[in-house]
């Protein structure tokens, strides 16, 4: 069971950016921990990060045939990237959207996710633990 974890713009800045919102843990530490978690869950994961919309779309397209599911935090693209929505619809792989922060309790513009309707579900507000929850959800979904 292989899962592709995709992180969008500015998520490589975790541990540095707005720590009061996103926490103190570094991006590398979150990724290392997720690799450990995935082993315990019996899942194989690959983690990608890009600040570039087109690269994220390429990752999604390339997942077809190589991965059984996707966990994606599209960062700010969540709120306006129809192209990422289209890519997720195109590959039609079970996908869980993750946000560290509770996007529904923040600015008005963050409350809309244009990408979530292409996913089986969305997890937000639980910090980096959301990625673990997403992997568990995909496993339960019998990916
Ligand atoms: C985020 C929420 C987005 O609104 C924001 O643009 C991010 C991070 C989150 O994980 O909480 O970059 O996706």
**Domains of the chain, residue spans:** 2-140
Please work out whether the CB of residue 75 comes within 6 Å of at least one atom of ligand 1: yes
DSSP state of 65: T
pLDDT at 142: 62
Q: Which CATH class is domain 2-140?
A: alpha beta
- First-to-last C-alpha distance (Å) of the chain: 7
Which pLDDT tens digits describe the chain residue by residue (143 residues)?
999 999 999 999 999 999 999 999 999 999 999 999 999 999 999 999 999 999 999 999 999 999 999 999 999 999 999 999 999 999 999 999 999 999 999 999 999 999 999 999 999 999 999 999 999 999 998 64
Neighbours of 3 (CB within 10 A): 27
Mutate to test the pocket of ligand 1, among 14, 73, 84, 130 (most ligand atoms within 8 A of CB): 73
Active site residue 59: no
Radius of gyration of the chain measured on its C-alpha atoms: 14
Mutate to test the pocket of ligand 1, among 15, 110, 113 (most ligand atoms within 8 A of CB): 110
């Amino acid at each position: 069971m292989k899962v592709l974890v995709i992180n969008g713009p500015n998520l490589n800045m975790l541990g540095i950016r707005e720590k009061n919102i996103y926490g103190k843990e570094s991006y590398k530490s979150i990724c290392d921990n997720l690799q450990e978690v995935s082993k315990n869950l019996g899942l194989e994961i690959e983690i990608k990060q890009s600040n570039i919309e087109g690269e994220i779309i390429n990752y999604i397209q390339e997942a077809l045939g190589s991965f059984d599911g996707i966990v994606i935090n599209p960062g700010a693209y969540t709120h306006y990237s129809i192209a990422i929505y289209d890519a997720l619809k195109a590959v039609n792989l079970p996908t869980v959207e993750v946000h560290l922060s509770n996007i529904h309790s923040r600015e008005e513009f963050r409350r809309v996710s244009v990408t979530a309707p292409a996913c089986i579900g969305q997890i937000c507000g639980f910090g980096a633990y959301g990625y673990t929850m997403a992997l568990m959800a995909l496993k339960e979904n019998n990916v």
